[in-house]
Amino acid sequence: MSANEDQEMELEALRSIYEGDESFRELSPVSFQYRIGENGDPKAFLIEISWTETYPQTPPIISMNAFFNNNISSAVKQSILAKLQEAVAANLGTAMTYTLFEYAKDNKDQFMENHNPINSTTTISNIISIETPNTAPSSKKKDKKEQLSKAQKRKLADKTDHKGELPRGWNWVDVVKHLSKTGSKDDE
């Protein structure tokens, strides 16, 4: 079988195996990422495997340069890559992407035993907030609320209920009065 046929068969197998798996991501038909560990796990890491033109007769390119891995020290990354390269040497000539992903999942704790997360985020306690001073001039008068007379307040109270709302239909037109004033055209 040619390298391309092997790659096509492995691609189909990977798609069917990892269908619905949120950890697996196909970047292109020859490049794949797999997140080892749960989202939010400080010991989780991402492996990217890219096939060469002659893969599986030649080893794939394995990378841990994804942004997701920024909190992992380079020594731990090199250690993981070295162990994965040993697995590549043992499986050379066969489809090994699935094997490498599973090997990494099975040995995650061993791979990350020397891992101490690198804290690259800025701590919030170091950020000082500065309040803006009140720059409004004191000579500016505040808007006064409209003052109502006692008579206006009584009239408003008579129109509204205890909640201050106007009763239903307060602005309805009396149909009989309206028609008597306008005169209907049927009377003629």
* Of 31-35, 66-70, 116-120, minimum mean pLDDT range: 116-120
Does residue 117 belong to any structural domain of this protein? no
Please, where are the H alpha helices in the chain? 3-17, 74-91, 97-106, 108-111, 150-159, 175-182
83 within some domain = yes
CATH number for the domain including 85? 3.10.110.10
> Nearest Cα to 111, choosing from 17, 54, 47, 24?
47
pLDDT at 66: 82
Query: Has residue 149 been placed in a domain?
Result: no
Decide: 43 and 16 in contact? Cβ < 8 Å: no
- Tell me, what's the pLDDT at 73? 84
Categorize the per-residue pLDDT at 109 as very low, low, confident or very high, splitting at 50, 70 and 90: confident
What is the spatial distance between Cα 62 and Cα 25, in angstroms, rounded to a whole number?
Answer: 15
Does the residue 98 lie in any domain?
Answer: yes
**93 vs 17, 26, 60, 101, 174, CA distance in Å?**
21, 22, 11, 17, 95
Over residues 178-183, mean pLDDT: 78
Query: Residues 114-170: pLDDT tens digits?
Result: 777 665 443 333 333 344 444 445 555 566 677 888 888 888 777 777 777 777 777
In a domain, 17, yes or no: yes
pLDDT beyond 50 at 59: yes
Say if 105 falls within a structural domain: yes
Is the confidence at residue 99, as pLDDT, over 80? yes
Q: What domain range is 24 assigned to?
A: 3-112
Mean pLDDT of the chain: 77
> Would you say residue 31 lies in a domain?
yes
Q: What is the mean pLDDT of residues 2-11?
A: 82
Domain count, the chain: 1
Residue 104 lies in a domain: yes
